Amino acid sequence: MNNKTDVLKNKFTKKIEEIIDYDRPNDPVSLQFLTDIEKESIILKEEISDPIGDDRCSKIKGIIHRYPDRVLLIPKGDCLVTCRFCFRKWKLPHEKTELTYEELEGALDYIRSDPQIWEVVLSGGEPLATSEEKLEYIFKQLNNIPHIGVIRIHTRLPIVAPELVTEKTIKILKKNKPVFIVIHCNNEKEITDDVKKCCDLFVDSGIPLLSQTALLKGVNSEAEDLEALFRKLITIRVKPYYLHHCDLVEGTGHFRTTIKEGQALMRKLRGNVSGICQPTYVLDIPNGYGKVPIGPDYVSFDANELITVMDYAGTQHQYPPQ
């Protein structure tokens, strides 16, 4: 596993290097990937090294089981990058790690033995950086489990190393069960022509793309940043899915907005930006109790059950009692 010194080292790819603007103060890409030792050394009392309770929900090596109908399968524990705000930052190994076939069989047996599991989410680390041979094996096995309805992949690879997605990758993923890919992208600057080409490969093969974004101060904490990002994602055929409130990871206070600020941003998007560009603003409840939507409320009830609805411009309207 890693140690603190490893975590504080910069780790990113050639593609990211190409889009970092070293001359621009607070460049939204450099903020995400370049270590700021001074800020990251400030640990707030509410921050923890395992903010979403992965340890509590780990059942066997490679499996995190939080909800009855889905599991996370982590075929590869390390990433090609270390995002400075990552909720697994203090746990991501810096050396290359991949489940052995024996460990993988243990994880697959866990999935095979629980008929309630309907969805398998490949997460990480970077699942799409798993060796092709092992990825093919995983998909072959999952496709043979009757109770699995869908496979989801959470990945940053199309952003940080789009050239690693090949026709062979697509061929492996396309077999049999429906596959959804969720791409982690935080600022429109990350969406280069290469990223678009990579997304085209998936979508043209019939694999739907969704996105997840971490709400990060300085990276996308203005309504214009989010608007530009979500519009651009739609133009490359990626549906914005989640906007994550920044988790209580040790040393990430400089990235975190308040929930109220997040809700105000979502209000600004509503109405001004098409519904297809709107993600759900979510919070992972600390210690592994799952995700909940925390977007703004537009409906209120008074003591007499009278209903007031607020429109996107903030004007209130009465709605007939029910």
* Minimal distance, residue 290 CB to ligand SF4, in Å: 18
x/- site string to ligand SF4, residues 153 to 172, per CB under 6 A? ---x----------------
Report the residue number, 86 or 148, with the smaller CB distance to ligand SF4: 86
* Annotation marks residue 83 as catalytic: yes
C-beta of 51 vs 267, nearer to ligand SF4: 51
Q: Contact between 124 and ligand SF4 (CB under 6 A)?
A: yes
In whole angstroms, give the CA distance from residue 65 to residue 290: 10
Binding ligand SF4 (rule: CB under 6 A), the pick from 82, 169, 186, 220 is: 82
CB 83, min distance to ligand SF4, A? 3
67 is catalytic: yes
Q: Which of 27, 50, 225, 247 is catalytic?
A: 247
By CB under 6 A, residue 15 contacts ligand SF4 = no
Q: How far is the CB of 157 from ligand SF4 (least distance, A)?
A: 8
What gap in Å lies between CA 177 and CA 153, rounded to an integer? Answer: 13
Candidate list 74, 86, 195, 248; residue touching ligand SF4; CB under 6 A: 86
> Is 88 tagged catalytic?
yes
Cβ(63)–Cβ(301) below 8 Å: no
Q: Omega of the bond prior to 125 within 30 degrees of 0, cis? A: yes
Annotated active-site positions, please?
A: 66-67, 70, 79, 83, 86, 88, 247, 284, 291
Site for ligand SF4, rule CB under 6 A: 79, 81-83, 86, 88, 92, 124, 156, 184
